[in-house]
Amino acid sequence: MLTRKQHELICFISDRLNETGISPSFEEMKEALDLKSKSGVHRLISALEERGFLRRLPNRARALEVLRLPERPSAHRPAAAVVKRPAQPRPTPEPANDVVEIPLHGRIAAGVPIEALEGAQSLPVPAALLGSGEHYALEVAGDSMVDAGILDGDYALIRRTDVARDGEIVVALIEDNEATLKYFRHEGAMIRLDPANRSYDPQRYRPDQVRVQGKLSGLLRRY
C-alpha cells in the first residue's frame, strides 16, 4: 500500500518516461508534488525502491526505471494502458547534478577522539550516494581509518541510527562529549572501537560510556 505522495510520484515518473523517455529531475519532481525540499523526493524514491516499484540505474543520477505501477483510480484508463511502453527506443538519459542538502556537523576524529561539533552548516551530496533514512555529514580528521579507505579531509556520510552490529563502521559518542569513527565490536562485557591502521590501538569502553550515533553509508572526497 503506497502513500498518496508515493502514488503521485511513481505515476508522474511513469508519465514523463512515456512522454520523453527521460526521467524527471529531482527539482521537477519536487515542484510536481509541491514538496519543500529535494530530500523529500529522495525519501519517496527510496521508499518506492524498497517496495519494488522503482529502480535507480547505476552511474546515472536521472536514470530511473519503473518496475511496476499501482492501480490508478480511473475508470477511463485501463491498467494495461498504464504499463504500455512506447514502441520507439528511449534516448539515453543525460546525467544530472541532483543533490540533497544534509547537515554538516563539524569534524570527527579518525585518530584519537575529539569533541563532536554541532553547527548550522550543510553539505550538498549527490542523491545517488544516499540510501534510505536520515543522513548527516562529518569531516574526517586523522588517519586511523586509512586501511578502510577513509582519509583525512574526507566527508563521512552517516545514516542516523543508535544500533550497530559487530564489524560496522560507526560514529561513537564517548561519554556524551567526544566522537570518533571506528569499527564497532563487542568484547565480552566491553565495547571495543577498532581503528583501521596498525599504528593505533583499539579503544575499550563500558557500554554506558558509548552511544552509537550513526553508521557510515558513504564517503565524499574533494580533490
Q: For 47-81, write each residue's pLDDT tens digit.
A: 888 888 888 775 555 578 888 888 755 444 444 44
Q: Give the rounded distance of the alpha carbon of 51 from its chain centre.
A: 17
Mean pLDDT to the nearest integer, 30-43: 82
Instruction: Tell me the sheet residues that pair with 157.
Output: 137, 218
Whole-model pTM?
0.55
Q: In a 3-state reduction of DSSP, which class is residue 137?
A: strand
Highest mean pLDDT among 27-41, 63-77, 177-191: 177-191
Respond yes or no: is residue 217 known to be catalytic.
no
List pLDDT tens digits, range 67-119: 888 875 544 444 444 444 555 555 544 444 567 888 888 788 766 554 455 55
- Is the pLDDT score of 10 beyond 90? no
Q: What is the pLDDT of residue 83?
A: 45
**Cα dihedral 72/78/84/86 (nearest 10):** -100
**Cell (9 digits) for 160:** 542516523
Residue with cell 578502510: 148
Sole residue written with cell 483510480: 73
Residue-range domains of the chain with CATH: 4-70 (1.10.10.10), 99-220 (2.10.109.10)
| Residues facing 204 on adjacent strands | 192
Instruction: Tell me if residue 38 is catalytic.
Output: no
List the single range of 82-86, 164-168, 169-173, 181-185 with lowest mean pLDDT: 82-86
Could you give the percent of the chain with pLDDT greater than 90? 27
Q: What pLDDT is recorded for position 5?
A: 85
Which among 182, 199, 215, 217 is annotated as catalytic? 182
**pLDDT band at 133, cuts 50/70/90?**
confident
The tens digit of pLDDT for each residue in 190-213 reads: 999 999 999 999 999 999 999 999
Mean pLDDT of 15-44: 81
Separation of alpha carbons 123 and 159, rounded Å: 14
Rounded mean pLDDT of 2-18?
85
Decide if pLDDT at 18 tops 90: no
Out of 144, 199, 215, 217, the active site residue is: 144
